[in-house]
Structures are given as structure tokens and as C-alpha cells.
Amino acid sequence: MITINDKLYITKEVNNIVVSYAKTIVLRKLLINFSFKKDSKNKIITDHLESVNHCKGVLDVFVEEEMDDFIYPFVKNLDKDETTALHFWTLNKLYLKYFQDSDYNDDDGIDIEHSDADFDFKFGRKLAHKIYEPEFTELDNDLIKELKNLLANFASEFDLSMVTKYTRQNILETIENYCS
């Protein structure tokens, strides 16, 4: 991040670095913890992965509650840098949604009648506000939803009806794909 005259500028390159960090470090940690039991050296599959996998992407109330019980403590135990990286990752995932919300919503102070530069500035400020105040701008809630979606999609990648010696390797390869 670059500060000029007390204004914070997030360049495309800085954003890409932060999102890459989120994917390669933080999401990898999330997927490993979700997939394998602690202290099993990535060999024993967790009940979380099995129960979400069983749902095949359509979560029932009980499984969604289990996911909350897994995701909330995970996010709470992250350090500030990891949490911020996940916020940037979430902004990137939901950028078009936020853009469309701004495009059609006059309540946020963005006037689409003005110049593109004015719109870009105001929209950028709105996104920056989400980073600085994630609890008040619903970014934290969006983060939890995106992590749930990620884990549900990830779990549905596997056929866990019969776990073989290749299942572990398949899970690790899929984690690599998700985190690259």
C-alpha cells in the first residue's frame, strides 16, 4: 500500500500480492485444517470434510452450523495480516457484486451521472471503507459466506464413499489447485 498526502493507494500490483498471499498461505491453512485432523501429518480426513462432502454442495442446517463452528474460530485465530489478506480476497471475489450494487444504488453517494474518474474515486473509497471497517460494512459476513462457499465447493470435488490410499494425494493436489 502506498500513502500519498495521507491517502492510501492500493495499486493493482499490491492487491495481487495480498490476494496471492491469502490464497497461498491463509486459504491453504484453512483447507488443510478442514481436510485433515490435527497432528495426523495430513493422513486422517476430518469429519468436517466428510459431512460437507456428503451434502454435495447443498448444505443442510446442521452441516452449515458445523461449518460455522469450524470457520469462525479459524478466522478469529488469524493474525491481522492474514485477516486483511482474506478481506482483500473477498473484495476480489465479490468485486462485480459490489460494483453492481454501487451502480444501481444512489444511497451510497455514488452518482453514475458524473465522470468515470469521479465514480472510480468514490467506488474506491467505498471499497477502502470496507477494508478499514469490515464489521460495519458487512465485509466480515461476506468473508464467512465466501469461505463457506469455498469449503462446500472444495468438499464436493471428492468421492469419499470409499477412501483409498490415493484419496490423501487427491486432496493435497486439489488444495494446490485451489491455492495457486
Mean pLDDT score, 95-117: 67
Burial environment of residue 155 by CB neighbours within 10 A (0 to 12, 13 to 18, 19 or more): buried
Q: What is the pLDDT of residues 19-67, one digit of tens each?
A: 999 999 999 999 999 999 999 888 899 999 999 999 877 888 999 999 9
- When mean pLDDT is compared over 7-11, 80-84, 96-100, the highest value belongs to 80-84
Cell of 169: 494425494
Q: What is the pLDDT of residues 143-170, one digit of tens each?
A: 999 999 999 999 999 999 888 889 999 9
Q: What is the pLDDT of residues 69-79, one digit of tens each?
A: 999 999 999 99
For residues 18 and 127, the answer to whether their CB atoms sit within 8 Å is: no
Helix (H, G, I), strand (E, B) or coil at 4: strand
pLDDT band of residue 2 (cuts 50, 70, 90) is very low
10-15: long-range pairs with CB below 8 Å, 24+? 10/124, 10/128, 15/88, 15/92
Amino acid letter for position 144? I
Percent of the chain with pLDDT over 70: 88
Nearest to 160 by CA among 51, 32, 33: 51
Report the pLDDT value the prediction gives residue 8, as an integer from 0 to 100: 58
Q: What is the pLDDT of residues 41-54, one digit of tens each?
A: 888 999 999 999 99
Report the pLDDT value the prediction gives residue 3, as an integer from 0 to 100: 46
pLDDT band of residue 109 (cuts 50, 70, 90) is low
